[in-house]
Structure 1
Amino acid sequence: MQQMATTVTLLGAASSPGPGLSAGDVAGRDGHHASLHCSRLRARKRQPWVLCSLKYGCLGVGGPGEAGSRSAASPVYSSLTAIYVWCRRTDELVDGPNASHITPQALDRWERRLEDLFAGRPYDMLDAALSDTITKFPIDIQPFKDMIDGMRTDLKKARYKNFDELYMYCYYVAGTVGLMSVPVMGIAPESKATAESVYGAALALGLANQLTNILRDVGEDARRGRIYLPQDELAEAGLSDEDIFKGVVTEKWRKFMKRQIKRARMFFEEAEQGVTELRKESRWPVWASMLLYRQILDEIEANDYNNFTKRAYVGKAKKVLALPVAYGKSLLLPYSLRNNQT
């Protein structure tokens, strides 16, 4: 399977606040506003990486027993919240209640606003929270621009000829979130891994989560006239768009789904080593995200691959049980150091 290469600047210089609304002056209250806005936005299919980190982890604290106000006050937590809110607002442009009125020109204006934000000229309080974040961490603008390109794709594209095309879409709308988040989560000081490998793992996790979302939501997307599945692989399996719209589980469909689930799990496996290289306090929420999303694939299988009329759902009990497992994994030595241990 060929993966199309994506050139991304991994570490960029943070911009300083410029004229206009000062990011630093409003950062504290903006973090609060961003957190409130985050809770009000309805979760859809994009940006699972940061969402799970915020929902299931307490960044900046030592472990599950210490969940509390210190977490919400930590620079890491507030910065990830600011990133997530920007991602959600971007997603709202093409997937929200006013999506039918959004034009390519509107996305062009949103991109210019992003450039102003990185130059220290935020437009509003939520922008200011992200502008403050980029003064604290070496976050590059390119993944943000790439996400906007993904929204442009959503405006004009409802089919994907092959996995290379789908891979790029998944990078744009979800892999980018991993690249945005790593500078904030941080690489463990003791890690011997290269920055490139850690960013590659973050990208793989975003891709895995997005592929999982796609497989979970096949029926829902079909009802919107969208098919986020490789057309050539559907044809190889003897399936057509009409089969997707009919929504009948057949042996052909089961065989096709097994192939897609295997691929998603491959990306999860690729991500695992990189997660161990993050700062210890950042690993737990990322492990939680990974374990919970992997269980969605298990639920699709348990539903006999009926993702047309049954939504693969991970119950609350399984979610709760996953958290201590994730915390235990977060305590493991970075993978890059394990071969050096006697």
Structure 2
Amino acid sequence: MLMPTALQNSYRYCQSIARQRARNFYYGFRLLPRSRRNALCAVYAVMRYCDDVADGNADSVEKAQRLRQWRESLGRALQGDYEGNPILQAFHHAVRQYAIPAEYFWELIAGAEMDLSIHRYRTFEDLHQYCYRVASVVGLCSLHILGFRDPAATMLAEECGIAFQLTNILRDLRQDAQSGRIYLPLEDLERFHYPAEALEAGIANPQFQQLMLFEVARAHSFYQRAFPLIGMVEPESRPALWTLISIYRGILKAIERNPEAVFIRRAGLSGIEKVGVVLRAAALQLQRKAGWEPRWERLHA
């Protein structure tokens, strides 16, 4: 069925946001069939707005108001009122097409609101709730778009989201500390005798090295538990999910090799390295179409 022009334009707008802003995710998006790719771009655009508000320069009162307004706008969009916003029609269409529960988006906004008032976390349990809201729900939304049949996939999608967010936290230590946010649990800093003041000052001493090895190992454990998810999504979605996990785990490995570098530059894969991951996934996708199903969870890039 031909998509109405207004809906096509909404999806194009969301695609442009994903191309410009999703520096890691978009590499995986490109491997998906068009409808799944379009839906992920629409969901990404909605979530990108939340992040931009939380990380923007406005004061916390204005940010809270904008997040409340966004929650209301999403609610109206789900009733068919798009208010002229170029994101919302594609968002509504994607949510209906892939039966994405609306509560995931309310959880995401609640996570963004946490950033307005909570700047440190005492325990990993406390941090876990934040990670669930800002990352696991992203994994759950994506799971509906990628397609799944086994209910156990939802737990693995949550684990995958936690793995991604823990990687983000380690990657962005310097930037977050400079803005007054410390996401590493304070109980971990205390365990390794590394005070928050040292983190804010960017001191890479032996205590910092031990702390980082501990945090990297924790993140790796979430990736290990999440790997079976690749084989649980629809076959046509597996190369994309494998690509996303491989790129994010590659960032974690870069941090593991040189932890103190997070105080100097943002860890990441080069464009060439990301293209290499995509090409490998594309080659495996061709093998799958030829009748051989890769053991994706064993093909760790």
Shorter-chain TM-score category?
0.7 to 0.9
Identity %: 28
Aligned partner of residue 227 in structure 1, secondary structure: coil
**Candidates 91, 114, 119, aligned match of 1:153:** 114
- Report 1 or 2 for greater relative contact order, CA contacts < 8 Å, sequence distance ≥ 6: 1
Q: Report if aligned partners of 1:237, 1:252 keep a CA contact under 8 Å in 2.
A: yes
> Distance between the aligned counterparts of 2:275 and 2:22, measured in 1?
22
Aligned partner of residue 125 in structure 1, secondary structure: coil
- Give runs of aligned pairs for residues 1-342 of structure 1, distance below 5 A: 26-41=6-21, 50-54=25-29, 57-60=30-33, 74-98=34-58, 102-123=62-83, 124-187=85-148, 194-195=150-151, 197-327=152-282, 331=288, 333=293
> Distance between the aligned counterparts of 1:143 and 1:120, measured in 2?
19
**AA partner of residue 237 (structure 1):** F
Q: Report if aligned partners of 1:291, 1:322 keep a CA contact under 8 Å in 2.
A: yes
**AA partner of residue 26 (structure 1):** A
Residues 306-335 of structure 1: per-residue CA shift (max 9 Å, x gap):
322233232233223322443466647598
**AA partner of residue 230 (structure 1):** P
**Structure-2 change in CA distance of 1:51 and 1:153 (3 Å):** farther
Question: TM-score, normalization: structure 1?
Answer: 0.77
Residue 180 of structure 1 and its aligned partner are, at CA, apart by: 0.9
Gaps of 5+ in 2: 296-301
> Distance between the aligned counterparts of 1:92 and 1:153, measured in 2?
14
Residues 115-144 of structure 1: per-residue CA shift (max 9 Å, x gap):
112222222231111111122121100110
Q: Report if aligned partners of 1:295, 1:314 keep a CA contact under 8 Å in 2.
A: yes
**Structure-2 change in CA distance of 1:237 and 1:166 (3 Å):** same
Residues 32-77 of structure 1: per-residue CA shift (max 9 Å, x gap):
122123334476xxxx6x54532xx3211xxxxxxxxxxxxx2111
> Distance between the aligned counterparts of 1:136 and 1:271, measured in 2?
25
> Distance between the aligned counterparts of 1:276 and 1:158, measured in 2?
37
> Distance between the aligned counterparts of 1:42 and 1:182, measured in 2?
18
Q: Report if aligned partners of 2:284, 2:294 keep a CA contact under 8 Å in 1.
A: no
Q: Report if aligned partners of 1:277, 1:334 keep a CA contact under 8 Å in 2.
A: no
Structure 1 equivalent of residue 298 of structure 2: none
**AA partner of residue 53 (structure 1):** G
Residue 208 of structure 1 and its aligned partner are, at CA, apart by: 0.6
Q: Report if aligned partners of 2:178, 2:200 keep a CA contact under 8 Å in 1.
A: yes
**Structure-2 change in CA distance of 1:75 and 1:276 (3 Å):** same
**Structure-2 change in CA distance of 1:32 and 1:316 (3 Å):** closer
Number of residues of Structure 1 aligned to a counterpart in Structure 2:
287
The alignment yields a C-alpha RMSD, in angstroms, of: 2.3
**AA partner of residue 67 (structure 2):** L
Residue 175 of structure 1 and its aligned partner are, at CA, apart by: 1.1
Q: Report if aligned partners of 2:28, 2:244 keep a CA contact under 8 Å in 1.
A: yes
**Structure-2 change in CA distance of 1:326 and 1:262 (3 Å):** farther
> Distance between the aligned counterparts of 2:50 and 2:214, measured in 1?
31
> Distance between the aligned counterparts of 2:228 and 2:103, measured in 1?
25
